[in-house]
Amino acid sequence: MPSKLPLFLARMLRFSPLAALPLLSGCGMVVLDPAGDVARQQGDLIVISTVLMLLIIVPVMALTVFFAWRYRAANKEATYKPDWDHSTQLELVIWSAPLLIIICLGAVTWVATHLLDPYRPLARTGPGQAIAANVKPIDVNVVALDWKWLFIYPEQGIATVNELAVPVNRPVRFRISSSTVMNSFYVPALAGQIYAMPGMETKLHGVFDKTGTFDGFSANYSGWGFSQMRFKVKSLPAPAFDQWVAGVKGSGEGDLDRMAYLKLEKPSQKEPVRHFAAVDPELFDAVVNMCVEPGKMCMHDMMAIDAKGGAGIAGIGNVRSVTYDKFAARGTGEAANWSVRYVAALCSQQMQPGDRPDATPVDPAPLRGEGLRHPNQTSERTALNAVPRQTS
């Protein structure tokens, strides 16, 4: 009696596209059909890599089904060779095909890794569209907060929350950091994702060659409000972008100075779009160096001191200037409890007696080592051993 397996496979192949439709209904094609040249090249890299891998995956899967069907126990016509163990021709095919694919993948990945380096300035806005020498990238400073995004435009002197607007066909140069835990800045239509980390700065270059509104979000889990950490990205013509900047300056909530930033960085969810008509030009650098709060020593100052060998005991009283405590003591002043955090470093302003109510005064005199035997003083046992013995 003929087997029903071929008929079953034919039906599965016929209805498999229909079965996959519910799974694909919620998928967007923005990664493979973006609105930016960098993201488009990354999408092409995904397609090329997938095709190269399928060159070996599809034949292996097809041959697996073919061998299982061809050499089944019920097929008496198949050649049975229990002692067969080697074929030079087959070994050549098995090893040469994957080796060639790996070489191609390595070459493609090597080139793309350098051309699509997020730190690499852009040389074009699209295929055959080189960037003119007089075109200046627009700078945007990005800060990942809990749980919202802050965008600072240093050239325009404005700042926004959960809204990013850039002119089309103009390169965008991002400087990215975080005020707390690590996040991942990701606009699929613009470029690949890159991490935002506290106390560090990462860079990303991208460009839009289409207008429209796109989605951006954090691609790295960062806590309670992570799922709401999303923002809209607007790609606007140059005149429309200028109007948007003028609108932010006209309808902003005021200035984003350091004290306003300290209030903004407090954790919140589902934060609406907010505009600030002016911004402290040194705010982003202060965020990166963890010294937004007045009186804090910046990391670059600490590193400069450490590069000179440190300050030793001269800086033992400096606690508050170098301690970064985001939640427990942020902005609390003399009411802060510093019982477990003491850092030795140089400071320009010595602490007041009330700053450390739980600490005993520090004696700056050199340590004398009371209670310890002097290294040059021999012990009694050593002295006894040193006495010459009489010989009989």
User: pLDDT at position 143, please?
Assistant: 96
- Residues 312, 229 within the same domain: no
- Residues 239, 331 within the same domain: no
- Residues 155, 264 within the same domain: yes
pLDDT tens, position by position, 302-318: 888 777 777 666 666 66
- Residues 157, 302 within the same domain: no
- Residues 194, 265 within the same domain: yes
User: pLDDT at position 288, please?
Assistant: 93
pLDDT tens, position by position, 318-351: 656 666 666 555 554 443 433 333 333 344 444 4
The CATH number covering residue 38 comes to 1.10.287
Pairing relation of β-strands 183-187 and 158-161? unpaired
Backbone angles phi, psi at 253, to 5 degrees: -85, 5
For the record, the structure tokens of 277 come out as 């008509």
- Residues 150, 245 within the same domain: yes
379 lies in some domain:
no
How far is residue 231's CA from residue 245's CA, in Å, rounded to a whole number?
17
Q: Which helix (H) or strand (E) holds 11?
A: helix 5-24
Q: How many residues make up the chain in this entry? A: 392
Residue 17 reports pLDDT greater than 60? no
258 lies in some domain:
yes
Residue 13 reports pLDDT greater than 80? no
DSSP classification of residue 388: P
Mean pLDDT of the chain: 79
- Residues 98, 149 within the same domain: no
- Residues 158, 239 within the same domain: yes
Decide: residue 361, CB within 10 A, 0-12 exposed, 13-18 middle, 19+ buried: exposed
Residue 295 reports pLDDT greater than 90? no
For the record, the structure tokens of 65 come out as 């089904």
| Residue with the larger pLDDT of the pair 76 and 173 | 173
The last residue of one of the domains, among 288, 312, 347, is 288
What are the angstrom distances between the C-alpha of 343 and each of 192, 315, 382?
A: 39, 8, 42
Region of poorest pLDDT, from 47-56, 238-247, 262-271, 305-314: 305-314
19 lies in some domain:
no
> pLDDT-derived band of residue 392, with 50, 70 and 90 as boundaries?
very low
392 lies in some domain:
no
Contact between 201 and 176 under an 8 Å Cβ cutoff? The reply is: yes
User: pLDDT at position 335, please?
Assistant: 38
User: pLDDT at position 67, please?
Assistant: 87
How far is residue 302's CA from residue 289's CA, in Å, rounded to a whole number?
10
The CATH number covering residue 245 comes to 2.60.40.420
The last residue of one of the domains, among 254, 288, 322, is 288
User: pLDDT at position 337, please?
Assistant: 39
17 lies in some domain:
no
- Residues 331, 278 within the same domain: no
The last residue of one of the domains, among 288, 320, 344, is 288
Percent of the chain residues past pLDDT 70, beyond the cut: 72
- Residues 266, 317 within the same domain: no
User: pLDDT at position 355, please?
Assistant: 44
Percent of the chain residues past pLDDT 90, beyond the cut: 38
Q: Which domain holds residue 355?
A: 294-362
Residue 293 reports pLDDT greater than 50? yes
Over residues 14-37, the mean pLDDT reads: 63
DSSP classification of residue 339: T
- Residues 138, 244 within the same domain: yes
66 lies in some domain:
yes
For the record, the structure tokens of 325 come out as 């405590």
213 lies in some domain:
yes
- Residues 232, 277 within the same domain: yes
> pLDDT-derived band of residue 224, with 50, 70 and 90 as boundaries?
confident
**Count of the separate structural domains present in the chain:** 3
pTM for the full model? 0.71
All residues at 6 or more sequence positions from 237 whose CB lies less than 8 Å from its CB, including other chains: 167, 168, 211
User: pLDDT at position 303, please?
Assistant: 83
pLDDT tens, position by position, 126-185: 888 888 888 899 999 999 998 999 999 999 999 999 999 999 999 999 999 999 889 999
370 lies in some domain:
no
